[in-house]
Structure 1
Amino acid sequence: QSICKLQLCFALVNNSCPRNVRSVSSVSALYTVMTGAVVMTMVGNLLVIIAITHFKQLHSPTNLLILSMATTDFLLSCVVMPFSMIRSIDSCWYFGDLFCKVHSCCDIMLCTTSIFHLCFISVDRYYAVCDPLHYVTKITIPVIEVFLLISWSIPIFFAFGLVFSELNIIGAEDFVAAIDCTGLCVLIFNKLWGVLASCIAFFLPGTVMVGIYIHIFTVARKHAKQISTGPMMKQVGSENKMKVSSKKESKATKTLSIVMGVFVLCWLPFFVLTIIDPFINFTTPEGLYNIFLWLGYFNSTFNPIIYGMFYPWFRKALRVIVTGMIFCPDSSTLNLFPAHT
C-alpha cells in the first residue's frame, strides 16, 4: 500500500516537479480556508469600492486613497491569490513560464502598492490631526493624485523590472539550476535583493508610517488634554464643534492605526523570512513560507472588515447596497453621516 509513491505535476513530462501528496481531508480543508479568504477579500473590497464610488458624500481626498487601496486588494484577490492557492496546495505551477513571471510581478507590485497607500494615508491623517486648519488646503485632490501616481508607478517599475531583469537571482544561479523542473514557480531573492526588496516594499514605508502615527498619537493626546482642561468658554457652540471634530479625527486615526498594525503583523514575518532565506542557503521549509505568504495575503481580507467595524458610514452604505436600496433614484445623495459623531 504505497499511497505515498512519488506523484508528478506533469506525469508525461521528463523533467516534471514532484507534486505534494496530501490526504483528501487536508486538501479539502486547505481549499475551503483559502477559497473562503479569496471570496471574502473579493467581496469585502468590492463593497468598499462600490460604496465610495456610488455615494457622493464619500467623495473626499482620504476616501480616494482608501478606494485605491481597496482596488489594489481586490485585484490581488482576482489575479494573484487563486493561482497562489493552487501552487501552495499542490506545490505545482500549471499555468506556464510566462504567466509565472507575470504572477510574480503582480504579487510583488500589488503588495507593495498596498503598503505605499497605507503610508500616504498616514500622511493624510498627520495633516488632519496635527494641522487641521491647513488640512483642506494641503491635502487636495491634486496632492492625492500625486500620492496615487507614486503608489502605483514605483511598485510597477520595481516589480516588473526586478523579475524580468532577473537581478534577484544573480549569485544564486546554481541553486536555481539545482531546483529547476517543469511546474515550478518560485521567486528566489539573492542576499542583496532579499534585503533591498524588503526595504523598498516594507521596511522603509513601514518605518515612515510608524513614526508618523507615534507623532499623531502624542499630538492627539495633547489636544484631548487641552480640551478637557481648557477654561469654560462663553461660546459653548464652537467649543462643542471643536470637541466633535477632534473626537472624529482621533477615532479615524485610531481606525487607520489599527489598519496599519494589522498590516505590520500580517507582512512582517514574510519580509523577515525573505531577508533571512538567502543567508541560510534557501533552507526555509516550503510549508512555513506558504503560511507567512498567506498571512500577508490575509491583510487584504482584513482591511474591509476593519472599515466595517469602525466606520458607521461604511456600515450604513453596506445596508443600502445589500438591501438593494442602491438602485433607488437619488440613493447616491443619501446622508451617511450621523448628525453628531
Structure 2
Amino acid sequence: MQDKSSRDQYKRDWDTRFVSTTSTMDEDQCYYNETIAFFYNRSGKHLATGWNTVSRLVMGLGITVCIFIMLANLLVMVAIYVNRRFHFPIYYLMANLAAADFFAGLAYFYLMFNTGPNTRRLTVSTWLLRQGLIDTSLTASVANLLAIAIERHITVFRMQLHTRMSNRRVVVVIVIIWTMSIVMGAIPSVGWNCICSLKSCSNMAPLYSNSYLVFWAVFNLVTFVVMVTLYAHIFVYVRQRTMRMSRHSSGQRRNRDTMMSLLKTVAIVLGAFIICWTPGLVILLLDVFCSSCNVLTYEKFFLLLAEFNSAMNPIIYSYRDKEMSATFRQILCCQRQENVNGTVAEGSDRSASSINHTVLGGGVNHHHHQHDHSVV
C-alpha cells in the first residue's frame, strides 16, 4: 500500500501528464471506453497486478463468509415462512431485512470474484454493476430497518404488540423499499458518476463522483440518527409506562421485562448495523473533505466489517429469540412445525411463545395476540 505522500505526488504527476496530453480535448469529454486502470491510476489507488498468498487467503475467507451469509439469512426467511407464529407484519419486514442481507451476500460474492487483479478485467459498466449491487443491498437494509423502527413506534404508542397493518400494505411497503434501493444503486450507472468529469472522481471509488458519495453517506447517516431517535423515544416511553403500571400491580413486572426484551432485540440489530456501517460511511466523507487523510489504508478493513454485518442478524435472532432458534433447529433437523390444531410438534420450544398480551396495557386484543414472541 502506498503511503499518503507518495500517492498524492503520483496523482499530481499523473494529472500534469494528463493535462499536457489532453489540452486540446473537450473538457466535457467522457471516458466510457477507457480501462479501469485508467481511472485507478488517476486516483492514485493501488491496483494489484497479480495474486499473492494474502490476497488468496482474503478471497477464500470472503467467499466462505458470503456462503454463510446467504445460507443463514435464507434460514431466517424459511423460519418466518413455516412458523405461523411469525405471520405478522413486523416479521415480514424482518424477513425482508434477511432478504436484503441475502442479496448483500450475493453482492459480496460477485465482488470477491471481481476484486484484486481481476479488477483490471472489468469494463466501466461491470465495475459500476459491482458497486451498484453493494449500494442496493445497503439501501435495502437501511430502508427495512427504518420501516421496522416506524412500525415499532406506531404499535408501542398505540399499546399494541403487533400492528394491524394488512398484508397488502406490507407488500406495498416491501415493493417501495426494493424500488428505492434499486434506484439508489443504479444512479451512478445512469449518469451520476465522474466518467465525464474526471476532476470530481473519488479516490476510494475511482469512477464515482464525490458529490454522489457525499449524498449517499449523508443520507444513510441521517437515517441512522432518525432510527436511533425513534428507538430512544420508544425506550423512554415504555420504561415510564411500565414503571407506572408496576406500582399498581406486581404482576406487571414480568410484562415490563418482556417488552424491554422485545425492544432490545431489534435495538441490538440496529446497533450492530450502525456499528458495522458507520465507519465506512464516515471514511467516504473523509475521502472527499480530508485531503491529508490516508483513507485507502483502512478501506478494506471497513468493507470487511460491513460484510460481517450481513451475517450477524441470524446470530442475534438465535441468541435473543427462543422461538426463532427453536424453529431454526426444527428446519435443520427436518422436524415438522405445527399440526392443523396448532399443537407444536416434538422438539419445539412451546414456552418461548407464551407471552402475555398485557405488555403495554391490559385488555389489548387478547384473542388477537395469543402467540407473541421475544422479538419485536
Give the TM-score band, short-chain normalised: 0.7 to 0.9
* Match in the other structure for 2:7: none
Corresponding residue pairs, total: 309
Q: 2:92 aligns with which of 64, 73, 89?
A: 64
Q: Give the SS at the match of 2:119.
A: coil
The yes-or-no answer on 1:193 pairing with 2:212 is: yes
Q: In the TM superposition, what is the alpha-carbon distance from 1:284 to its structure 2 partner?
A: 4.4
1:120 alignment partner AA: A
Q: CA separation in 1, counterparts of 2:319 and 2:118?
A: 36
Q: 2:48 aligns with which of 16, 19, 31?
A: 19
* Match in the other structure for 2:246: 228
Over residues 185-228 of structure 1, what are the superposed CA-to-partner deviations in whole Å (9 max), with x where a residue is unaligned? 9454434322211123x123212101101101101211231232
Q: In the TM superposition, what is the alpha-carbon distance from 1:333 to its structure 2 partner?
A: 7.1
List runs of 5+ in structure 2 lacking aligned partners. 1-33, 38-46, 356-376
* Match in the other structure for 2:221: 203
The structure-2 alpha-carbon separation of the partners of 1:86 and 1:281, relative to structure 1 and needing over 3 Å to count, comes to farther
* Match in the other structure for 1:320: 330
Alignment of 1:121-270 (within 5 A): 121-133=148-160, 136-137=163-164, 139-160=165-186, 162-169=187-194, 172-174=197-199, 186=205, 188-200=207-219, 202-230=220-248, 240=251, 244-270=254-280
The structure-2 alpha-carbon separation of the partners of 1:64 and 1:332, relative to structure 1 and needing over 3 Å to count, comes to farther
Q: CA separation in 2, counterparts of 1:59 and 1:333?
A: 16
CA contact (8 A) 2:69 2:311 kept: yes
Per the normalisation by structure 1, the TM-score is: 0.78
* Match in the other structure for 1:8: none
The structure-2 alpha-carbon separation of the partners of 1:290 and 1:140, relative to structure 1 and needing over 3 Å to count, comes to same
Over residues 243-271 of structure 1, what are the superposed CA-to-partner deviations in whole Å (9 max), with x where a residue is unaligned? 55543332121010011111111110111
Q: CA separation in 1, counterparts of 2:270 and 2:63?
A: 25
Q: Answer 1 or 2: which has greater helix percent.
A: 1
Q: Which has the larger radius of gyration?
A: 2
The structure-2 alpha-carbon separation of the partners of 1:189 and 1:103, relative to structure 1 and needing over 3 Å to count, comes to closer
* Match in the other structure for 1:307: 317
Alignment of 1:33-52 (within 5 A): 33-52=61-80
List runs of 5+ in structure 1 lacking aligned partners. 1-13, 180-184, 233-239
The structure-2 alpha-carbon separation of the partners of 1:90 and 1:245, relative to structure 1 and needing over 3 Å to count, comes to farther
The structure-2 alpha-carbon separation of the partners of 1:332 and 1:68, relative to structure 1 and needing over 3 Å to count, comes to farther
Over residues 295-328 of structure 1, what are the superposed CA-to-partner deviations in whole Å (9 max), with x where a residue is unaligned? 1122111111111111111110011011111499
Query: Percent identity at matched positions?
Result: 20
2:68 alignment partner AA: M
* Match in the other structure for 1:109: 136
Alignment of 1:89-108 (within 5 A): 89-90=116-117, 92-108=119-135
Q: In the TM superposition, what is the alpha-carbon distance from 1:286 to its structure 2 partner?
A: 3.6
Over residues 107-159 of structure 1, what are the superposed CA-to-partner deviations in whole Å (9 max), with x where a residue is unaligned? 1111111011011111122133332249543x443443343233212122222
The yes-or-no answer on 1:291 pairing with 2:291 is: no
Over residues 82-128 of structure 1, what are the superposed CA-to-partner deviations in whole Å (9 max), with x where a residue is unaligned? 23224454472545443322222221111111011011111122133
Q: Give the SS at the match of 2:181.
A: helix
The structure-2 alpha-carbon separation of the partners of 1:321 and 1:331, relative to structure 1 and needing over 3 Å to count, comes to farther
Q: CA separation in 2, counterparts of 1:48 and 1:107?
A: 21
CA contact (8 A) 1:45 1:304 kept: yes
Q: CA separation in 1, counterparts of 2:285 and 2:122?
A: 28
Q: CA separation in 1, counterparts of 2:162 and 2:335?
A: 34
Q: Give the SS at the match of 1:132.
A: coil
Over residues 42-74 of structure 1, what are the superposed CA-to-partner deviations in whole Å (9 max), with x where a residue is unaligned? 111011011011222211111000011101111
The structure-2 alpha-carbon separation of the partners of 1:36 and 1:222, relative to structure 1 and needing over 3 Å to count, comes to same
Higher-RCO chain (CA-CA 8 Å, sequence separation at least 6): 1
Q: For structure 1, which segment, 325-334 or 293-302, has the greater mean C-alpha deviation from structure 2 after superposition?
A: 325-334
Q: CA separation in 1, counterparts of 2:136 and 2:232?
A: 27
CA contact (8 A) 1:76 1:110 kept: yes
CA contact (8 A) 2:89 2:170 kept: yes
Q: CA separation in 2, counterparts of 1:210 and 1:130?
A: 17
Q: Give the SS at the match of 2:216.
A: helix
Q: CA separation in 2, counterparts of 1:104 and 1:254?
A: 33
The structure-2 alpha-carbon separation of the partners of 1:274 and 1:285, relative to structure 1 and needing over 3 Å to count, comes to closer
Q: In the TM superposition, what is the alpha-carbon distance from 1:164 to its structure 2 partner?
A: 2.0
Q: CA separation in 1, counterparts of 2:337 and 2:264?
A: 33
